[in-house]
Chain A
């Protein structure tokens, strides 16, 4: 079946270090979304990427969609303790279903 894997599964960083999570789909995607879930919270939408090779920035966060539209990455520059949480990508396959497939998530812990 269609799968979206994320690596790493866990990441511990010192505050101020950079962090990157990678998202890889087994099928081509129409678009990809990124969500953040704080500990004990619910997923909150961060951004959406639609075009092949697209790059978007939100302050210290940089999101990229691969040229083949099968992978994506989220890079955080100079992490802060407020960045703690689980980051999910969610891809919509081009196969025509309405179903977003969520990635396996990357749990980020930031040590002060």
Chain B
């Protein structure tokens, strides 16, 4: 049973294209996150939703738009992809957004923009 799943696992695309990454969690958690991990392994939060409501919106280009149709799903749409968007994108979830909650990460989506 996969707790946090992401699709696709790998994504290779051309500059300028639009792409989406999907995330689903079956843990019954209220809170979901998107992280970006660059080639140096730095892990930075991008967005967080709690019960479909956006609670964290870091300084990311507005080409990135998250959407949460329900609390078990958090998708990430990226418009006009650029070379610098190449990275591993991790989805994560936690029971609540409060402190002391463990975050459960998905397997990651490896995005390569050519």
Which of the 9-residue segments A20-28, A52-60, A66-74, A100-108 touches chain B? Answer: A100-108
Known contacts: A31-B100, A98-B56, A100-B103. The answer to whether A43 contacts B48 by CB under 8 A is no
Residues from chain A with a CB closer than 8 A to the CB of B108 are 42
Known contacts: A42-B106, A45-B102. The answer to whether A100 contacts B41 by CB under 8 A is no
Residues from chain B with a CB closer than 8 A to the CB of A102 are 35, 42-45
A80: Cβ under 8 A from any B Cβ: no
Within 8 A of B (CB), among A78-112: 86, 88, 90, 92, 97-102, 104-105, 107
CB-nearest residue of chain A relative to B35? Answer: A102
Residues from chain B with a CB closer than 8 A to the CB of A64 are none
Q: Sort chain B's interface into a size bin.
A: 20 to 34
Residues from chain A with a CB closer than 8 A to the CB of B107 are 41-42
B12: Cβ under 8 A from any A Cβ: no
B104: Cβ under 8 A from any A Cβ: yes
Q: Which B residues lie at the A interface, using CB under 8 A?
A: 31, 35, 41-45, 48, 50, 55-56, 58, 90, 92, 97-100, 102-108
